[in-house]
Amino acid sequence: MADSKLSALTETVAIDGTELVYVVEDPSGTPVSRRVTVANLLASLALELPVSILSFGAVGNGTTDNRAAIQAAVDYAAAQGLSTVSIPDTLLGFGVSLAAHPVVGDPYYCAITVPNGVRLECKGFLKLLANQGVSGKSNAVVMNRQISVGGDENLSFDGLVIDGNNLNQTVPCSGAVVLRARGVKYTRCRVRNMFGNATSGLGESVHFSASLSTDVSWLDCVAECTGGSSASGFSANSSTNVRWIGCTARGMTVANGFTHNACRNVTYVGCRSYLNARTGFNSEVSQDVVYNSCIAGSESSTAATYPYASGTSLGNTDHGFTINGSTNVGLIGCISRKNSQGANWSNAAFGYIVGGEYTDNAYGLAFSDTTATLVRISGNPKVSGNATKDLAVPSPLTGNYHPPGNVGAPSVPSSTVALTNPYPYAAGVYVLGGTVTAIAVAGIATGLTSGLVHVPAGATIMLTYSSAPTWTWFID
């Protein structure tokens, strides 16, 4: 059958699935016409359209249990090779309950499981109905399908919003959880008010979690508690290549904002963690971890902090950054303010601090053991104005500890003799020991007698002392 102009085609009054129609495409400037049946054309179009949970009976009134309807939509999409399941906008949310995981059953309970290759696209939100979860079990709202063996891959969550309804729960429950998964991406997702009541174990529910997984990323996601009891925000355990970019954790009333344990290749970029009951950012027994331009605590004027009034203290109750047993951890250009400790290092092998600000805490930088000697400092971080101590070191190091310098230090000049910074860059100078009564920079008294001072390029530093101190110099 030769191709014909549309105007020359035979008029069809009733079209059925077997009827041939012409489709014209112009991929390279030369029109090409193709013949296809109506049934095939409709099927091809369906592959491009998301599967709506409304088509499977979901009702967004905040009270109806939509667990079965949403799962049916997800299962249908997976079976038909369709990639996207749509959760449409709703003011009251799509209520969901928990049931035993459909593949492994007890002890895992969840509302929705997502298999390989399926993408959840959300404009509305899921709301956990009251009194869900099974005591002593692992409860979550959304999980992946193959959590025991094999695992899932290429999972995508775009705009997923979960309300944990924690004021109406008595059993801890997590939000969005993946286990034994590869290639998982969360984009602009928000999980709030997941009930949790402990700092470890099943009671430490989390808003977002990845365990035994690899290549997992969260982009512009938020974990928040606006009332009631919630444990931790973001968590990764025994996972590799995990990344948080532009994410926020706030208001956790029991535990941490961000936490990871036994992970490798961990990256945080531009993340914020504030008003959490314990640590803003917690790293435990992990390797190759980078915090870049992250903010722990601070004030409402220096972090994105709606709905708090300007000037409100947003400190975490414990540390801004905790590095416990991790290796090769870097803090690059980070800010930690209004916390108990700006950054605390313990049992940590190797690490580096580049620039940043650790001010207005009880302690600025605190090292709990002799591994402090393995943490290099450069980039002139601002470490001042901390109520108890700017730099705290353990007793075995007291009196002889310096942050490891990265340039040769000039000899300490005689008392009241000004020394010009010999480097063409601003330098951080850490002064320790001796009997110093004054430190002046560029002829201006600093009010300090020890600790870290900043000496601009071409400026002078002068010490007044009766017994000479020692010092370490470091620059970028």
In residues, how long is the chain?
476
Q: Find the Cα–Cα–Cα–Cα dihedral 142, 230, 235, 146, rounded to 10°.
A: -20
- How far is it, in rounded angstroms, from Cα 207 to Cα 192? 7
Read off the DSSP letter of residue 313. B
pLDDT, one tens digit for every residue, the chain (476 residues): 455 555 565 555 555 555 565 555 565 666 666 666 666 655 555 555 789 999 999 999 999 999 999 999 999 999 888 779 999 998 899 999 999 999 999 999 999 999 998 999 999 999 999 999 899 999 999 999 999 887 899 999 999 999 999 999 999 999 999 999 999 999 999 999 999 998 888 778 999 999 999 999 999 999 999 999 999 999 999 999 999 999 999 999 999 999 999 999 999 999 999 999 999 999 999 999 999 999 999 877 655 555 677 778 899 999 999 999 999 999 999 999 999 999 999 888 788 898 899 999 999 988 887 666 678 877 778 888 888 888 777 655 554 455 555 577 899 999 999 999 988 778 888 888 899 999 999 999 999 998 888 898 899 999 999 999 988 887 65
- How far is it, in rounded angstroms, from Cα 167 to Cα 186? 26
Q: What are phi and psi of 370, to 5 degrees?
A: -70, -10
SS3 letters across 346-403:
ECCEEEEEECCEEECCCEEEEECCHHHHHEEEECCCECCCCCCEEEECCCCCCCCCCC
pTM: 0.80
Say what the pLDDT of residue 301 is.
66
Please name which of 352, 359, 254 lies closest in space to residue 297, comparing C-alpha atoms: 359
- How far is it, in rounded angstroms, from Cα 449 to Cα 69? 69
- Spell 29-46 as b/e; 16+ CB within 10 A means b: eeeeeeeeeeeeeeeeee
Say what the pLDDT of residue 457 is.
86
Say what the pLDDT of residue 237 is.
97
- How far is it, in rounded angstroms, from Cα 325 to Cα 469? 32
Say what the pLDDT of residue 366 is.
87
Q: Find the Cα–Cα–Cα–Cα dihedral 295, 299, 303, 305, rounded to 10°.
A: 120
Say what the pLDDT of residue 328 is.
93
Read off the DSSP letter of residue 457. T
